[in-house]
Amino acid sequence: MTRDGATAPGPMIHRLQLKAISGAVAGNLIDFLDFAIFGLLAKVISTTFFPPGDPTVALLQTMMIYASSFLIRPLGGIVMGRVGDRLGRRTALFISVSGMCVVTAITAFLPSYAVAGSFATASLVLCRLAQGFFAGGEYTAATAYIVEQGGSKHRALRASFSPVAAYAGTAIAVGIFTLVSAIIGAESMASWGWRLMFGLGVPLGLLGLWIRTQLDESPEFLAIEEERRRLRTEAPPLSAVVRRQWRRMLFFISILMSHTLSNYLVLGFLATYLTNFVKIGETHASLAIFIAQLVLMATTVTYGWVNDTVGRRPTLLAGCILVIPAMFLSFYVASFATPASAIAAAVIPVLVYPLITSGMTIGLVDMFPREMRVTASGIAYNTGTALFGGTAPLVAAFLIERTGTPYAVPCYVAVIATISFVSVLLYYDQRRSAPYVVPAVAVADPVA
């Protein structure tokens, strides 16, 4: 459907879907590129924005700021979700990428602690909170937009491009950081290179902003908007969304947690484990994670197609089962402490947990009604990610320290995966595990 409401001719459909996918995923790529850059620059940031003293304390404070951006994401999911459900998916995507672009630009020009003292630290905190706020509505709105732009076929495959863009953003950040570090050196990186790293996100953000100005609104939202005008209704309030969807949100979180825990253990904790516990060099550990991200992009798209072919339920169940031995094998292989074993340890989990990712991502759309989809999915996704993704590295390090064995981490994964397995059995039946069919438009209650 075009902007004037006409149906697009057959030959144009694939071009329109490609345009929709590229426009929607641009923000996810920028979001995760920024977060990856902040993580990669953690040591530099700790010495730039905190008073001289104990470097360990400064690094911990930096990681707390990093974690705080996850904690505010549910609020961003609510606010941006309301925008997406009331004003349109396209409007929400435009606002989120604009906000992220502005915050990234401001971060690049922040004064250091040596220049501005505590004001510099407070400014960094505010920037990270703002980044997390705008990012809170990005992933779910983008996924809804991609899926709603197409028909009932290949919905999980189209949805898979949302996480793929996130992984691509992280991979690009690692590649740029490695290249820039090699060219300018550690001293220049600490002096001015970190500003360059954040500044690189600005032209990418502007490009994403331009792409999104060219997007048409989601046909499903246009249909809802037309129905609201005809029946004189409006989008349901937040209280109605929570009241009607809290059970589905809990089911979604219980499925999401296996994906987000596994994802952040591999991409957020494994490099630390390899360097600090197994004593692998940082270069080999970074290379292992980089290779795993490339494999992860391929498996995520592949399992999106599998999900559409065999159904949601069997794909999710297989992922919940296979991720348990995969994580045990990953930590076992890592103990060999060689560059090859480091790569194998990073790659093994990403061969299986995207089975969960594919079901989780399309679940953002499948599990919630269209008129409240972005709000409900935004609350559920960001809450689950904050609880089980943002805390994954911290919990993993704590478990290893307290138990004295790295296998405490895959045991934690096993418990979470078991809960997800039971949730899938309870939520999905054979009918709903079939490829999804777009339901009739549902509208809110009439305005009093």
pLDDT, residue 431, reads 41
Find all residues with CB under 8 Å of 180, minimum gap 6, and list them. 189, 193, 196, 197
pLDDT, residue 31, reads 81
Q: Domains in the chain and their CATH numbers?
A: 1-235 (1.20.1250.20), 243-429 (1.20.1250.20)
**Residue 23 in tokens:** 């426009």
Nearest to 35 by CA among 167, 207, 144: 167
Distance CA 191, CA 270 (A): 28
Angle subtended by helix axes 339-350 and 312-334, to nearest 10: 170
User: Phi first, then psi: what are they for 8, rounded to 5°?
Assistant: -70, 140
Distance CA 46, CA 157 (A): 40
Q: Given the structure tokens 């349901």, which residue do they identify?
A: 236
Distance CA 311, CA 313 (A): 6
pLDDT, residue 216, reads 83
Distance CA 168, CA 162 (A): 10
Nearest to 146 by CA among 163, 167, 135, 161: 161
Distance CA 141, CA 80 (A): 8
DSSP 446: B
Q: Given the structure tokens 């960094």, which residue do they identify?
A: 124
Q: For every one of its 448 residues, what pLDDT tens digit does the chain have, with 9 covering 90 and above?
A: 444 444 444 444 465 567 777 777 887 888 888 878 887 787 788 888 888 877 777 767 777 787 778 888 899 999 999 999 999 888 998 898 888 889 989 999 999 988 988 899 899 999 999 988 988 888 888 899 888 887 677 889 999 999 999 899 888 888 888 888 888 888 888 889 899 988 888 888 888 888 888 888 888 888 888 888 888 888 888 999 999 999 999 999 999 999 999 998 998 888 888 887 888 887 888 889 889 999 999 999 999 999 999 999 999 999 999 999 999 999 999 999 999 999 999 999 999 999 999 999 999 999 999 889 999 999 999 999 989 988 888 888 889 888 989 999 999 999 999 999 999 999 986 444 444 444 444 443 333 2
Phi/psi class of residue 26: alpha, beta or left (left: φ > 0; alpha: ψ in -120 to 50)?
alpha
3-state SS, 379-396, equals: HHHHHHHHHHHCCHHHHH
Instruction: Please give the C-alpha separations between residue 146 and each of 185, 362, 409, in angstroms, as whole numbers.
Output: 41, 10, 35
Distance CA 312, CA 308 (A): 7
Task: Quickly count helices (H) and strands (E) in the chain.
Answer: 22, 0
Q: Given the structure tokens 């692998």, which residue do they identify?
A: 280
pLDDT, residue 14, reads 60
Residue 15 buriedness (CB in 10 A; 0-12 / 13-18 / 19+): exposed
Instruction: Please give the C-alpha separations between residue 264 and each of 20, 101, 127, 172, in angstroms, as whole numbers.
Output: 28, 24, 22, 17
